[in-house]
Chains A and B, each alone.
Chain A
Amino acid sequence: MDESTKPPQTKVSEYLDLLNPSSEHMVTFSPFFTNQMSVELIRSMTVIRRARVLYICIGRPHIFVQKMLMNRGINIKDIYFMDMVLHVCREGGRSKAPVIHVPDSKEPLELPTVFKLYRVDQELSSLSLDDIELMVLDNVSELRTYNSDQQIRTFLGLLHGLSQKTGKGLILLHLDNRPNDGMRELAEGMSIHTLAIPAKAFQ
């Protein structure tokens, strides 16, 4: 079928079909459907596309996402969860930068936030990105609670750089309740593809 004659997307799954797991995307959607988005995105990426995913939870503990996936028979064995919620800390009033170690590099990726990034499912002291094809950040809007615009810019720049350097896909989830937060423009400035999913697609 010719692109121009394809019917417009109506369901979330149809929108998610537009994403390329080896590319970089910012997906904007209604904050009232974060649970539905987590499930549909992981289903699309792991069950349909067979991608191995690093899922970084910012807005809520990862265990809640895991339970929804297990309830729907989605195998979570190949999904690496990072939980930035359970370990929010500010030691001595100074930000403690958590790290993701990039293989073959002495330089860790530092996340310039007050969060302490914590590996919940692995015993190793650093995460090997060799096993991962796609990183999902759920979600950039929650970063606003604890970080300045500049910190968020730096953080997303680092993730973008990591994605470019290692060839991993990157999906940034973004809530649409604050349309002028500059996140879409920031993503577009980094040549990250943007996709907006309307609330009716979840209904």
Chain B
Amino acid sequence: MDEDFLRLQTGIPGLDSMIEGGLPFPSTVLLAGDSGCGKTTFCLQFLFDGARKGEKGLYFTTLSEPTNWMLRFSSRFNFMDKEAIGRDIIYFDLGPYFRSRLPPEDRFEALKKAIEDKIVEHMPQRIVIDPITAVAGLLKGSYREFVFDLSQSLKNWQAVSLLTGESTHDQMNTMEPAYTSDGIILLYNLEHEDGRRRYLEVLKLRGTDHMTGRHLMDISGDGISVQVGLR
């Protein structure tokens, strides 16, 4: 293990042992997978783990989901701490920028400024943008430039950022954030003869000798855990 390489533990049991102790700090990581595979649960668990350690988290939603809905769905998890919301974990809705009538180039700047202003205000160690792929429709031709700018900027803000995206392994090559991210973690919810099973795969993580292949993943009351080595 390179001890000069600083790592931030994810709080996902099993995952940190696959990636030399945690995600590189600072870094930008794409968390991709189909709908229902556990992306939002992963992000919340990551943020609440930071809150327990005294770190600040910023959760940007692009779906305009009200805070109370997010709280209601996540309250069944044991890692959930309602006291941390608003104090250690700041929830920010980027939805209004999607509904604005600004031309795409102005939306680009407005969105970038909104994200940056919140980061400057709260100085978080952990950032989530869920889902980043929704921004593609908003910015159209500027999306690639936006994602590139954002990825570079997020690292300079000294944080680990998770950008989520609805995508399968086969679609990775066409996903803009995949090019600019330092890491890609894929979540699967695959159908087998005896039902569906969830998997996690670390596809890429710069500066890390990470485990490869799909590893069985479980979602229980304690949140996500990875059964390392089980396929």
Q: Quote the shortest CB–CB distance from B163 to chain A (angstroms).
A: 19
Interface size class of B (residues with CB under 8 A): 10 to 19
Given A32-B125, A177-B6: A203 touches B120 (CB 8 Å cut-off) = no
Contact between A64 and B156, CB atoms less than 8 A apart = yes
- Nearest B residue to A33, CB-CB: B125
Q: Quote the shortest CB–CB distance from B51 to chain A (angstroms).
A: 10
A32's contact among B55, B120, B157, by CB below 8 Å, is which?
Answer: B55
Contact between A71 and B4, CB atoms less than 8 A apart = no
Kindly state whether residue B193 has any CB partner on chain A within 8 Å. no
Q: Quote the shortest CB–CB distance from A178 to chain B (angstroms).
A: 6
Residues of chain B touching chain A, judged by Cβ–Cβ distance below 8 Å, are: 3-4, 6, 8, 25, 54-55, 116-117, 120-121, 123, 125, 156-158
Contact between B55 and A67, CB atoms less than 8 A apart = no
A34's contact among B54, B120, B121, B158, by CB below 8 Å, is which?
Answer: B158
Number of interface residues of A (CB under 8 A): 23
Q: Determine the chain A residues whose CB is within 8 A of the CB of B117 once the complex forms.
A: 71
- Nearest B residue to A179, CB-CB: B3
Contact between B123 and A203, CB atoms less than 8 A apart = no
A49-86 contacts to B (CB < 8 Å): 59-61, 64, 67-68, 71
Contact between A35 and B55, CB atoms less than 8 A apart = no
Kindly state whether residue A200 has any CB partner on chain B within 8 Å. yes
Q: Quote the shortest CB–CB distance from A203 to chain B (angstroms).
A: 3
- Nearest B residue to A39, CB-CB: B123
Q: Quote the shortest CB–CB distance from A187 to chain B (angstroms).
A: 19
Q: Quote the shortest CB–CB distance from B46 to chain A (angstroms).
A: 14
Can you list 24 residue pairs at the A/B interface with Cβ under 8 Å? A31-B6, A32-B8, A32-B125, A33-B125, A35-B123, A35-B158, A36-B123, A39-B123, A59-B158, A60-B156, A61-B156, A64-B156, A64-B157, A67-B120, A68-B120, A68-B123, A71-B117, A71-B120, A71-B121, A145-B4, A177-B3, A178-B4, A199-B54, A203-B54
- Nearest A residue to B126, CB-CB: A32
Contact between B25 and A31, CB atoms less than 8 A apart = yes
Q: Quote the shortest CB–CB distance from B22 to chain A (angstroms).
A: 11
A195 to B6 Cα, complex, angstroms: 21
Q: Quote the shortest CB–CB distance from B35 to chain A (angstroms).
A: 33
Given A32-B8, A34-B158: A200 touches B120 (CB 8 Å cut-off) = no
Kindly state whether residue A202 has any CB partner on chain B within 8 Å. yes
A61 to B116 Cα, complex, angstroms: 15
Which of B8, B55, B121 has the most chain A CB within a 10 Å cutoff?
A: B55
Contact between B54 and A200, CB atoms less than 8 A apart = yes
- Nearest B residue to A175, CB-CB: B6
A59 to B158 Cα, complex, angstroms: 9
B158's contact among A60, A71, A202, by CB below 8 Å, is which?
Answer: A60
A116 to B206 Cα, complex, angstroms: 26
Q: Determine the chain B residues whose CB is within 8 A of the CB of A177 once the complex forms.
A: 3, 6
A200 to B54 Cα, complex, angstroms: 7
Q: Determine the chain A residues whose CB is within 8 A of the CB of B54 once the complex forms.
A: 199-200, 202-203
Q: Which 9 A-B pairs have the closest CB atoms?
A: A203-B54, A35-B123, A71-B120, A60-B156, A32-B125, A34-B158, A64-B156, A67-B120, A177-B6
- Nearest B residue to A200, CB-CB: B54
A67 to B25 Cα, complex, angstroms: 21
Kindly state whether residue A144 has any CB partner on chain B within 8 Å. yes
A177 to B21 Cα, complex, angstroms: 13
- Nearest A residue to B54, CB-CB: A203
A94-108 contacts to B (CB < 8 Å): none
- Nearest B residue to A85, CB-CB: B156
Q: Quote the shortest CB–CB distance from B7 to chain A (angstroms).
A: 9
A199 to B56 Cα, complex, angstroms: 13
Residue interface mask A20-60, B partner, CB < 8 A = 1: 00000000000111111001000000000000000000011
A51 to B111 Cα, complex, angstroms: 37
- Nearest A residue to B123, CB-CB: A35
A152-203 contacts to B (CB < 8 Å): 175, 177-178, 199-200, 202-203
